[in-house]
């Protein structure tokens, strides 16, 4: 199905998610309401974004049954350990005002001020807590974020459930070939955060030119690229016309043009 991806346990996730990173709590209610109003049914947040409260309120106030909305949140990167994970999960569902999550992710393999540090044991303990929450029916799917092949392999070796998702930075020019191949092999859904490289890809002359050829905007080309590469894009915007634009992706990019986009220089390097 074009409009959903399927996890290895059979649960489906709507293909476009609304990203809420960098949306302050004061703006989150309006932004999430706009997204829901314009057909998004998948919202991505995190305890670390400090906007769960208003994300949850917007979802609650919107006229859709809970089971028709897919909600993702994340275990803060600095929280490692079994009991600590159960506590953080409770904080998240309390903030959101929900009694279950659709997807819960370990936000990163290491705290943000220690990028690259080895927290393998802590990740294993956190993962065991996530397995428990999953088995108790509190979360429909569990996964990771910012994990490398080695980080994921460590969980596979030590735990029972293979992560169902890995949410990573993915955008035109940053194609993550090896990680994508590994995830595909293990049936792990790859979610693309910052599909516009937080807006930086939109000024690329190559991207602008190709977008013109397809009669779409640079943002639409970049988001469609994620889908063509079998990743699930999570675009973020607080402007309604862009929120609408970012979900109108009914076109396809030719294999030759995908190759060209793969070869675009990484805007963040
Ligand atoms: P804004 O929220 O003010 O609309 P990413 O999803 O890669 O994190 O990129 C988000 C950034 O790109 C935000 O700064 C957002 O700005 C901007 N953005 C999102 N969608 C569009 C669009 N369709 N056209 C132009 N800029 C966009």
Both structure tokens of 206:
């190559």
Percent of the chain with pLDDT over 90: 97
In this prediction, residues 116-138 reach a mean pLDDT of: 98
pTM of the model: 0.97
Cα 6 to Cα 43, 139, 222, 232: the distances in Å are 17, 16, 22, 11
Task: Name the average pLDDT for the chain.
Answer: 97
Contact 76, 49 (CB under 8 A): no
Fold of the domain built from segment(s) 4-196+231-238? TIM Barrel (3.20.20)
CB under 8 Å to 58, separation ≥6 — which residues? 28, 29, 30, 31, 32, 33, 36
Residues within the annotated binding site for substrate? 107
Ligand 1 neighbour 260 (Cβ under 6 A): no
Q: Stretch 203-225: mean pLDDT, rounded?
A: 97
The residue contributing the CA closest to ligand 1 atom 1 is 237
In the predicted structure, residue 2 carries a pLDDT above the cut 80: no
Name the residue of 21, 197, 208, 237 whose CB sits within 8 Å of the most ligand 1 atoms, as the mutation to test its pocket: 237
Closest-CA residue, ligand 1 atom 15, reads: 237
Residue 49 a catalytic site member: yes
Q: Is 130 in the pocket of ligand 1 (CB under 6 A)?
A: no
Residue listed under structure tokens 């294993």:
124
Q: Are 79 and 118 in contact (CB under 8 A)?
A: no
Task: Domain ranges for the chain, please list them.
Answer: 4-196+231-238
| pLDDT at residue 62, as a whole number | 97
- Express each pLDDT in 187-205 by its tens digit: 999 999 999 999 999 999 9
pLDDT tens per residue, range 69-113: 999 999 999 999 999 999 999 999 999 999 999 999 999 999 999
Q: Whose CA is nearest to atom 9 of ligand 1?
A: 198
pLDDT class for 164, splitting at 50, 70, 90? very high
CA-CA-CA-CA torsion sign (183, 93, 15, 237): negative
Residues ≥6 apart with Cβ < 8 Å to 229: 170, 175, 180, 258
Interface confidence (ipTM) of the complex: 0.98
For residue 202 and ligand 1, the question of a CB distance below 6 A is answered with yes
Convert the pLDDT of each residue in 236-255 to its tens digit. Answer: 999 999 999 999 999 999 99
pLDDT for residue 269: 81
Predicted local confidence at residue 132, as pLDDT:
98
**Atom number, ligand 1, closest to the C-alpha of residue 235:** 6
Q: What pLDDT sits at residue 1?
A: 46
> Ligand 1: distance of its center to the CA of 221 in Å?
13
Q: Whose CA is nearest to atom 21 of ligand 1?
A: 242
Contact 144/106 with Cβ under 8 angstroms?
yes
Q: Helical H runs in 82-141? A: 82-96, 120-135
Residue 194 in contact with ligand 1 by CB distance below 6 A? yes
* Distance separating alpha carbons of residues 196 and 233, to the nearest angstrom: 9
**Coil, strand or helix at 139:** strand
d(C-alpha 157, C-alpha 79), whole Å: 21
d(CA 113, CA 136): 33
**Which DSSP state fits 264?**
S
* Ligand 1 nearest atom to the CA of residue 199, by list position: 12
Looking at residue 175, its pLDDT comes to 86
Closest to 180 in 3D by CA, of 148, 221, 138: 148
């Amino acid at each position: 199905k074009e409009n959903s991806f399927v996890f290895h346990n059979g649960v489906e996730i709507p293909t476009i998610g609304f990203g809420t990173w960098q949306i302050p709590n004061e703006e989150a209610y309006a932004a999430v309401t706009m997204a829901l109003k314009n057909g998004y049914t998948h919202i991505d947040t995190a305890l670390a974004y400090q906007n769960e409260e208003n994300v949850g309120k917007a979802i609650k106030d919107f006229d859709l049954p809970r089971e028709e909305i897919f909600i993702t949140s994340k275990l803060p990167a600095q929280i490692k350990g079994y009991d600590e994970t159960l506590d953080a999960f409770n904080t998240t569902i309390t903030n959101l005002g929900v009694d279950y999550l659709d997807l819960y992710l370990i936000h990163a393999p290491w705290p943000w001020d220690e990028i690259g540090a080895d927290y393998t044991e802590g990740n294993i303990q956190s993962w065991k807590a996530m397995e428990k929450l999953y088995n108790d029916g509190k979360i429909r799917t569990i996964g990771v974020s910012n994990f490398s092949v080695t980080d994921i392999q460590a969980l596979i070796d030590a735990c029972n459930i293979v992560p169902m998702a890995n949410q990573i930075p993915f955008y035109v020019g940053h194609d993550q070939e090896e990680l994508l191949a590994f995830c595909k092999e293990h049936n792990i859904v790859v979610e693309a955060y910052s599909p516009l490289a937080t807006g930086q890809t939109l000024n690329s002359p190559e991207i602008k030119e190709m977008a013109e050829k397809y009669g779409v905007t640079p943002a639409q080309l970049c988001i469609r690229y994620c889908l063509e590469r079998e990743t699930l894009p999570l675009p973020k915007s607080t402007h309604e016309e862009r929120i609408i634009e970012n979900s109108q992706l009914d076109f396809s990019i030719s294999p030759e043009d995908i190759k060209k986009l793969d070869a675009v220089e990484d805007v963040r390097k």
